[in-house]
Amino acid sequence: IPYVVEMGFTHIEFLPISEHPYDPSWGYQTTGLYAPSARFGDVDGFARFVDGAHLAGIGVLLDWVPAHFPTDAFGLAKFDGTALYEHEDPRLGFHPDWNTAIYNFGRREVTSFLVNNALFWAERYHIDGLRVDAVASMLYRDYSRKSGEWIPNADGGRENWEAVAFLRDMNREIYSQHPGVFTIAEESTSWPGVSAPVSDDGKSGGLGFGFKWNMGFMHDTLQYMARDPLHRKHHHGEINFGLVYAFSENFVLPLSHDEVVHGKGSLLTKMPGDDWQQFANLRAYYAFMWGYPGKKLLFMGQEFAQRREWSEARALDWDLRNARSHEGIRNLVRDLNTVYREKPALHARDCEAEGFEWLVADDATNSVFAWLRKAPGAKPIAIVANMTPIARAPYRVPLPHDGRWCEIINSDAHDYWGSGLGNLGGVVAKDGAA
């Protein structure tokens, strides 16, 4: 907790802590939704942890898995000898990707069990939010299934309206009974209104989540950053496209565990070039991300540029902090968090188009992006990203106000193991540009 406070983060999000039989599932195949896993300590210990985090001003979020459950005999599968929690028909009740059972969301007892579990974590342990896993797999009856392997709904469509009703009920109960607690959806499709309110009768409107993971941001920007900087000018749209839909939902920008496992490498090793260039790319990427509209989420170890892939079988490589290159990344993330929290222009309108304005959107030749972040009553902040190792000086950036603009973050600063090339503390705008 002191480390999180020192780094300037606002919340800790746990991978699922509910009891689960298989370590490599990372908790995403749970058999005991109401039980914090004994592998991490006792229930009182978890309660103390949450209380300690709150005393330090840190919120606690849990990954929560109401989409499916493992078929172990000691779990919920065939609980009374029949398909009690799941569907009898495997076309509805079996998930082919994970070899797990799917909850029968059309059964009142099952949805009551799940909704009450969501409330349980807020009531018993005072957690501050739930990130709901695999929402897309719940919304579509044909998710990851071939023709003939799924059953259409009563209207002949692919939507799972029972799951939709459950998610709306869950969100309405959370927000009505526990003001201040919020929910986040991991939803990878373009289902409309994931973070839009549910109607008063609970039967229409959005799904009612507070936020939605922006999976498109993660995919497109990492794909862009993995390219040789020489070739990025041909893929400018991989960055621009995300700003087309950036305000269609209340987005969280996730750099999650899924991107640093199963042969994908770490964030650092995804970057092109030699060691110095990889660090420079990663610093530029983090500064770009913190200036981009949306809330920010890093998986553990990314704040100091973990080199190895993550594994549940070993600790993070904390000894890397002895290297100036890695400590430079950590110092940058700490300072980005500080600036993000202290400057309303960077966070107050993360989910509103009024808080964003393009300054330079079409300079593909130089791979330069620039935009303005704004908030009522706050000074605007210009974000300028040069995604090549070539110093662009002089370079004209349009700015809305003449006068001196102070440089508050430079990802190439010596303190971050950069080359030290910057703007000597600021620039002076004249005639609408600097």
Helix (H, G, I), strand (E, B) or coil at 362: strand
Q: Alpha-carbon distance 57 to 334, whole Å?
A: 16
Both structure tokens of 101? 């059972």
Both structure tokens of 392? 């662009």
Q: Alpha-carbon distance 180 to 185, whole Å?
A: 17
Both structure tokens of 202? 């609970």
Residue 21 CB neighbour total at 10 angstroms: 13
Classify residue 290 as exposed, middle or buried by CB count within 10 Å of its CB (0-12, 13-18, 19+). Answer: buried
Residue 416 CB neighbour total at 10 angstroms: 25
Q: Which amino acid does the sequence have at 2?
A: P
Catalytic residue among 128, 186, 187, 220: 186
Instruction: With beta carbons less than 8 A apart as the criterion, state whether 227 and 235 touch.
Output: yes
Of the candidates 106, 168, 169, 96, the residue with the CA atom closest to the CA atom of residue 137 = 96
- Whether the bond between 179 and the residue before it is cis, its omega within 30 degrees of 0, is no
Q: Tell me the pairing of strands 182-185 and 129-132.
A: parallel
Catalytic residue among 13, 63, 128, 133: 133
Instruction: With beta carbons less than 8 A apart as the criterion, state whether 260 and 390 touch.
Output: no
Angle ∠(258,260,261) on CA atoms, nearest 5: 75
Give the HSE-up count for residue 178: Cα atoms under 13 Å, Cβ half-sphere: 21
Q: Alpha-carbon distance 140 to 225, whole Å?
A: 32
Residues 6+ apart with CB under 8 A from 50: 60, 125, 126, 127
**Residue 133 appears among annotated catalytic residues:** yes
| Type and span of the H or E element at 139 | helix 135-139
Helix (H, G, I), strand (E, B) or coil at 123: helix
Instruction: With beta carbons less than 8 A apart as the criterion, state whether 348 and 375 touch.
Output: yes
Determine phi and psi for 407, rounding to 5 degrees.
-80, 120
The conformational region for residue 57 under phi > 0 = left, psi -120 to 50 = alpha, else beta, is: left
Beta partners for residue 398, in sequence order: 433
| Dihedral sign, Cα of residue 335, residue 338, residue 343, residue 347 | positive
Enzyme catalytic residues: 133, 186
